Structure 1
Amino acid sequence: MDTLHLILRYLHLIGFAAVVGGWLAATLAKKYTINTAMLLGIATQLVTGIILAGTAGADADHMKIGIKAGLALVLAIMIVIPWWKKRDPVNTGHFTAIGVISLITAGVAVFV
């Protein structure tokens, strides 16, 4: 079970890297569109996060899991809806919020 947990955590981190990396690449190129890396990254994070929360056990930090789940759901909505609408450029504030919320989610994982 430890090996499975470590693999899931590793995949979860790769999902985070895809979201933030895709966001950063688009931000530096000043093309505020949702890219495939961001879409696949948030999907990876949602799937692995749900599995990790389900296998956490009784001693899990439920507050941390709840906060991260809420933020991940908000991110998924912010990423999927503009992508669904044929990748139209999104508002700069919306795009900036995607990166900020992603980084806050990582902060919750590390510091809470």
Structure 2
Amino acid sequence: METLRHIVVLVHLVGFALLFGAWAVEAVNRRFEVTRLMHWGLLIAAVAGLVLAAPWGIEYDLNYAKLGVKLVVLVAIGALLGIGAARQRRNGSVPPALFWSIGALTLLNAGIALIWR
């Protein structure tokens, strides 16, 4: 059971890497755009995160406050991706403040996972 949980953690990290990596590529190229890869990364990270939030195969108590904060940040990232994609379709680009917020919240979510014990 422990091995399966570690595999789900790996999938969760891959989702984060897809989301943040796709965002970083756009940031480095100074294209303030929301890509399909960002949406896929968010979806993978969200599904794997929800699976990890279930108390299966562990002998310790989960930190539900931390999980709740991470879920709120995840929903905020999803909302910003949705708003950014809609504005991109309408105007051709995403406002820079919205684009940078996506990256900052993604990094914040990873920081919460690592720092908050």
For normalisation by structure 2, the TM-score amounts to: 0.87
- Within the alignment, does 1:30 sit opposite 2:34 as a pair? no
Aligned mates of 2:93, 2:74 — CA distance in 1: 21
Amino acid at match of 2:75: L
In our comparison, the structure showing a higher alpha carbon Rg is 2
Task: Compute the displacement of 1:101 (Å).
Answer: 0.5
Aligned Cα root-mean-square deviation (Å): 1.7
**Which residue of the partner structure matches residue 80 of structure 1?**
82
Aligned mates of 1:72, 1:39 — CA distance in 2: 12
**Which residue of the partner structure matches residue 105 of structure 1?**
109
**Which residue of the partner structure matches residue 70 of structure 1?**
72
**Which residue of the partner structure matches residue 15 of structure 1?**
15
Aligned mates of 1:74, 1:101 — CA distance in 2: 8
C-alpha offsets along residues 69-112 of structure 1, whole Å, 9 cap, x if unaligned?
11011111111333356384110000000000111111100010
SS at 1:54 equivalent: coil
Aligned mates of 2:69, 2:3 — CA distance in 1: 25
- The percentage of counterpart residues that share the same residue type is 28
Amino acid at match of 1:61: N
Aligned mates of 1:15, 1:47 — CA distance in 2: 9
**Which residue of the partner structure matches residue 2 of structure 1?**
2
Aligned mates of 1:54, 1:12 — CA distance in 2: 14
SS at 2:53 equivalent: helix
The list of structure 1 runs, each at least 4 consecutive aligned residues, that deviate by more than 6 angstroms after superposition, is: none
CA contact (8 A) 2:84 2:99 kept: no
**Which residue of the partner structure matches residue 91 of structure 1?**
95
Flag structure 2 segments of 5+ consecutive residues without an equivalent.
Answer: none
C-alpha offsets along residues 38-93 of structure 1, whole Å, 9 cap, x if unaligned?
11000001111111102356700111101111101111111133335638411000
